[in-house]
Chain A
Amino acid sequence: MTPLRKAALAAIASASLVAAGCGSGFDDNGSKTQQSSGPASLQIMIASSGDAETKAAKDAAAGWATSSGNTATVTPAQDIVQQLGQALAGSTPPDVFYVDAARFADYASVGALDAYAKGDAFLPRLNESFTYQGKLYCVPKDASTLALEINTDLWTKAGLTDADYPTSWDQLTAVARKLKASGVTPLAIGDTRDRIGAFLVQAGGWWVSADGKQATADTPPNEQALTYLQSLLRDGLAKYPKALDAGWAGEAFGKGKAAMTIEGNWIKGALSSDFPTVKYVVKELPAGPKGKGTLSFTQCWGIAAKSKFKEQAAAFVTAMTTADQQMAFAKGFGVMPSRTDAQATYQQQYPDDAAFIAGAQYAQGPVNAPKMDSVLADLDAALQGLATGDPKAILQRFDKNAKTALGG
């Protein structure tokens, strides 16, 4: 055997050894990750509702970085579930990231989150969303609810007045017909459970039982809600954003392609930055057969269990959740503060947001259980086809899928 050949064989052999796991990049230490003190460079991943929120978060992070002597890089994720999933599996998670209430249980159950939180300063109803097996993991960032936004110019053009703001489904249908007659799409509504679910609440139903352990989609109230929305879609009284060439309902609304939309607090920031000229009012969602109903959304500041800078990350989160900072975010992109002591100030400063604040009283939180994401994604897919689909079949399908996920 010549030296050259020996060398080649050695190279191949050593390569297969490396591959066999000597140099594993996977980090199996879990929460025992080596901590670094001193100045940190924090990576923060956010799921931004738009340029307004991105800017506000970047400004706030830059402010904290300068005053504390650390660096903080804010990255708006295009698809936070996917990017975070890859980052966690690759053991390179950002130190701090938004955790949506609907995904929280998934992250907490696999041990991806550091349970740093002491949540006495926050609204208990929000804290509940971030508690897993009796332990609070992360503090709520803010809160939002859905309301009905109405473009006042298009409204007047259709011959409608302030007295016509709809407060019931029947009125909603009636004004939608008038708007349609004036040549504008009456309502732009997002094609997901996070918007359509509001109709279920108004009809007195919900996807799952109150304790979140049973699927309860296939009930008459839910069917009634979907059938009502289906009639709006079929008659052209409501349209999904894609049908209006828009990425989301707020864009269609901002461009004047729809006279009404159902979105949350974040729409204020998006409209003032992207469509500053549009004039609109915000009203509570029209009540259904069983009264008023809306959905609430919240996210928390999650800290990665594998972060090297947990202490600094916690300091960052504290700085992001002071009452002043929460009011600054409220100003920047319209969300409501999650701190108990900021509520009164907020109501004073933003009287126009009465509808969002009022909604918080009777809002329904998201479905929050591990392993539900693919079931909910399947539901969203079915809801995209609601106009031509069978509401009862959609609900039955959800029940069947959810039973497997919740039972297992």
Chain B
Amino acid sequence: MAGGIRGNERSAGWLFVAPALLLLGLFLVLPILMALWVSLTRWNGQGSPFTAGVPFAGLDNYTGLIADDGLSRTNFMTSIRNNGYYVLFVVPLQTALALGLALIVNKRRGFFRTAFYFPSVTSSVAISVVFLFMFANGGAINAILSALGVHGPQWFSDPRGVFHLLLGDSAPAALADHSVLGLSWWDWISGPSVAMCAIIALVVWTTSGTFMLMFLAALQNLPRQLDEAGMIDGANRWQRFRRITLPQLRPTMFLVVTLGLIGSWQVFDQIYVMSQGNPAKTTLTPAYLSYRTAFRDFDYGSGAAISFVLFLIIVLLTLGQRWATRERNP
């Protein structure tokens, strides 16, 4: 098959992929290599980082995040804690909500699907503005809460962790006096701050529509016979859902959870617009910290190092997902 049509195809093939290859190489692969270099230096943002004059730091930027006792480690670990709690709340909530929505709209077409999906396609910045207004101290959420007789919190200025609130205000000495990785045990178990809860609410609200569609696609591909058999056996609706539908949704469930895990470690836009890491660093996330460290503190090396650690976390999650789906869907 050499020569003729096929021979032409060879060169055409490369020509067709060339623009995409060039762009992805220039703006995805190359930048990563550059940033890897910068993460090994102490470049301060003046002049080019690719000259001999830039001080080489070796792995100092990385050990500063993980091993050395100091402000960079405290900041980084705080951001890991915050994002960890964020993930812990967002992923189960959005998965459950998405499944619930899919079940609601499964037999209905049109309007409701549109309504539930719409928040997913709007701009994260624009939606953040709306939620800032709703969660303002005198805003809509607190108006609803006070109608229910609850005195709403000052959402975006309340740095108290919700677990701390449940446990009471004062830290037991055993937890407060011992620390690991730069944070005391008491700080580690704070839970998401009240301010973070508002952001969690926003994200669950915007993303569950997307995941709803995935569940919906899976639901509509389920064979009806099993469900009908269950009906004949006299199983009620809940039993049929629990014993028949849910097991069949397992692959989709797994996909939604892992996509959720990967996505929620990357939260950035909402933090930038709504809280900028405040109050008291309780909404600081690794993505925002990396940005701030580089562009505000001029510590580009450390900022790039944070990016790579975050990258590693996400790659591990992705590989985990690939590996596990391979196991389950041979």
A388 lies within 8 A of chain B by Cβ? yes
B30 within 8 Å of A (CB atoms): yes
Whether B14 and A106, one on each chain, are in contact in the complex, defined by CB atoms closer than 8 angstroms, is: no
Which among B10, B51, B160 is the interface contact of A28 at CB below 8 angstroms? B51
Would A110 and B296 be within 8 Å (CB), given that A11-B22, A384-B157 are in contact? no
Determine, out of B83-91, B247-255, B275-283, the stretch whose residues face the partner at the interface. Answer: B275-283
Q: Return chain B residues, CB-CB under 8 Å to A111.
A: 46
Within the complex, which residue of B7, B160, B278, B280 is in contact with A2, where a contact is CB–CB below 8 Å?
A: B7
CA gap between A82 and B295 in the complex, in Å: 6
Contact across chains for A110 and B298 when beta carbons are under 8 A apart: yes
With beta carbons under 8 angstroms apart, the residue of A4, A243, A377 that contacts B137 is A243
B48 touches A28 (CB 8 A): yes
Q: Please, which residue of chain B has its CB at the minimum distance from the CB of A2?
A: B11
- Asked if residues A89 and B45 are in contact (CB atoms below 8 Å), the reply is yes
A77: Cβ under 8 A from any B Cβ: no
* In the bound complex, CA of A242 to CA of B136 (Å): 9
Tell whether, in the assembled complex, residue B14 and residue A240 are in contact, meaning their CB atoms are under 8 Å apart.
Answer: no
**Does B124 sit within 8 A of A, measured CB to CB?**
no
Q: Is the CB of A88 within 8 A of B70?
A: no
Q: Which of B10, B50, B138 contacts A21 (CB under 8 A)?
A: B50
Check if A330 is an interface residue, CB within 8 A of chain B.
Answer: no
Question: B160 contacts which of A24, A89, A388, A404 (Cβ < 8 Å)?
Answer: A388
Least CB distance from B281 to A in Å reads 4
Q: Does the CB pair B71–A26 fall under 8 Å?
A: no
* A256: min CB distance to chain B, Å: 14
List B residues 5-30 near A (Cβ within 8 Å): 7-8, 10-12, 14-15, 18, 21-22, 25-26, 30
Q: Tell me, in angstroms, the Cα distance from A378 to B281 when the chains sit together.
A: 8
Tell whether, in the assembled complex, residue A2 and residue B137 are in contact, meaning their CB atoms are under 8 Å apart: no
B269 at interface, CB cutoff 8 A:
no
What residues of A have a CB within 8 angstroms of the CB of B277 in the complex?
A: 381
* Closest residue of A by beta carbon distance from B8: A2
Whether A15 pairs with B26 at a CB distance below 8 angstroms is yes
Residues of the A chain whose Cβ atoms lie less than 8 Å from the Cβ of B92: none
State whether B298 touches A382 (Cβ < 8 A).
no
- Per the 8 Å Cβ criterion, residues 59-93 of A in contact with B are 81-82, 85-86, 88-89
Q: How far is the CB of A402 from chain B (nearest CB, A)?
A: 9
| CB neighbours of B45 from chain A (8 A) | 85, 88-89, 110
Q: Does B119 contact A (CB under 8 A)?
A: no
Cβ of B106 under 8 Å from chain A = no
Measured between alpha carbons, how far is A112 from B44 in the docked complex, in Å? 11
A21 to B26 alpha-carbon distance, docked (Å): 12
Q: Contact: A384 with B298, CB < 8 Å?
A: no
Q: Is the CB of B71 within 8 A of A27?
A: no
Q: Does A125 touch B at the CB level, under 8 Å?
A: no
Do the beta carbons of A15 and B297 come within 8 Å of each other? no
Q: Which residues of B contact A30 (CB under 8 A)?
A: 47
B265 interface residue (CB < 8 Å to A): no
Chain A positions within 8 Å of B7 at CB level: 2
Contact A378 B278 (CB under 8 A): no
B51:A19 contact, CB within 8 angstroms: no
* B71 close to A2 (CB less than 8 A): no
Q: Which chain A residues border B211 with CB–CB below 8 Å?
A: none
**What's the Cα separation between A226 and B98 when bound, in Å?**
47
- Nearest Cβ on chain B to A184's Cβ, whole angstroms: 15
Q: Does B321 contact A (CB under 8 A)?
A: no
Instruction: Report how far A385 CA is from B154 CA in the complex, Å.
Output: 13
Separation of A21 and B49 alpha carbons in the complex (Å): 11
Give the CA-CA distance A240 to B156 in the complex, in Å.
12
The 8 Å CB contact of B279, one of A9, A88, A385, is: A385
* Chain B nearest CB, measured from A403 CB (Å): 10
A3 to B11, CA, bound (A): 8
Inter-chain contact A375/B18, CB cutoff 8 Å:
no
**Contact yes or no, B18 A11, CB < 8 A:** yes
Contact partner, A240, options B44, B47, B157, Cβ 8 Å: B157
Give Cα A373 to B75, complex, Å. Answer: 14
Q: Give the residue among A3, A82, A89, A111 with the most B Cβ atoms within 10 A.
A: A89
- How many angstroms between the C-alpha atoms of A106 and B299 in the bound complex? 12
The answer on a CB contact under 8 Å between B10 and A2 is yes
CB of B300 within 8 A of chain A?
A: yes
| Nearest Cβ on chain A to B41's Cβ, whole angstroms | 13
Q: Given A2-B7, A245-B136: A19 and B30 within 8 A (CB)?
A: yes
Q: Please give the distance in Å from A2's CB to the nearest CB on chain B.
A: 4
Asked if B327 CB lies within 8 Å of chain A CBs, one says no
- Least Cβ distance of A73 to chain B in Å? 23
Contacts of B138 in A (CB 8 A): 245
Q: Provide the residues of chain A in CB contact with B71, threshold 8 Å.
A: 374-375, 378, 401, 404-405
Residues 219-275 (chain B) with a chain A CB within 8 angstroms:
none
B159 interface residue (CB < 8 Å to A): yes
Q: How far is the CA of A192 from the CA of B281 in the complex (A)?
A: 13
Is B137 touching A26 in the complex (CB atoms < 8 A)?
A: no
Residue pair B26, A110 in contact (C-beta under 8 Å): no
A374 to chain B: which residues have CB within 8 Å?
A: 71, 75, 293, 297, 299
Contact yes or no, A82 B296, CB < 8 A: yes
* B295 A86 Cβ-Cβ under 8 A: yes
Most buried by A among B12, B169, B278, B296: B296
Tell me if A344 counts as interface (CB < 8 A to partner B): no
A373 close to B296 (CB less than 8 A): yes
A378 to B48, CA, bound (A): 29
Contact with B along A385-408 (1 / 0, CB 8 A): 100100000000000010011000
Q: Contacts A191-B157, A385-B280, A401-B71 given; 7 further ones with Cβ under 8 A?
A: A8-B18, A28-B48, A89-B46, A373-B296, A378-B71, A381-B278, A404-B71
In the assembled complex, 29 residue pairs joining A and B whose CB atoms fall closer than 8 Å, in A order, are A2-B8, A2-B10, A3-B11, A5-B14, A12-B18, A12-B21, A26-B49, A28-B47, A82-B296, A85-B45, A85-B295, A85-B296, A85-B298, A88-B46, A89-B45, A89-B295, A242-B154, A242-B156, A243-B157, A373-B296, A374-B297, A375-B71, A378-B71, A378-B74, A378-B281, A381-B278, A381-B280, A384-B157, A405-B71
Of all A-B residue pairs in the complex, the 7 with the closest CB atoms, nearest first, are A26-B48, A4-B11, A242-B157, A89-B45, A385-B280, A5-B11, A8-B14
